[in-house]
Amino acid sequence: MRKNWGDSLKQLIQYISLDDQLKSTTRKALRTTLKTIIERRGSNGNAIDVVVTTFSPSHFEGDWDKAGACPKKKPYNESEKQLEGMDAEMRKIEVEEVNATKDNAKQFAKFRLEALDVTKLSLMRPDGHPGPYMHPFPFANGVTDRVQNDCVHWCLPGPIDTWNEILLQVVKKWEGPSERGG
């Protein structure tokens, strides 16, 4: 019994460590990217607009590496799904880094940065990914009990159209009375 508990603890520590590494790496990558954009473009007085899209959460039921599936055919109701865990952490990191970069880049008058926060919108739309139809003939060899879904590639109408509408509104806002100095 002691061995099982020890193995479980070891797995938990490895999982937590991997979790922390992912968050740390994501933060570092985003911070480095935004800093580099400012250093190479913003500091030269060049006008630049940057939009960072927040994390799109997964919907499949089960672990990502265990052929989880999402059988949903319509959006979630508000009370059915909450933003939590790694999805919430990833969004938080992105929003924090965008806000920190905005604060650090205020001296560059021609630099505009916006977070296109699609996380909650995407969370509520499990119906917007291709499901079994990511392959041309998904049932050619029969129907399986569970079909792995791809929640990363959004290729159906709905969520992506909405993301584009939000992005268009950001661009229109930027085209209005100039927020950009110089």
pLDDT in tens, 91-130: 999 999 999 999 888 877 778 899 999 888 888 877 666 6
Query: Is the pLDDT higher at 11 or at 55?
Result: 55
The reported pTM is 0.70
Could you tell me which residue, 90 or 105, shows the higher pLDDT?
90
What residue spans of the chain are helical by DSSP H? 2-40, 85-104, 119-123, 159-175
Q: What is the mean pLDDT of residues 66-94?
A: 80
Q: Check residues 27 and 108 and name the one with the higher pLDDT.
A: 27
Q: Which two tokens stand for residue 10?
A: 């070891």
State yes or no: pLDDT of 32 exceeds 60.
yes
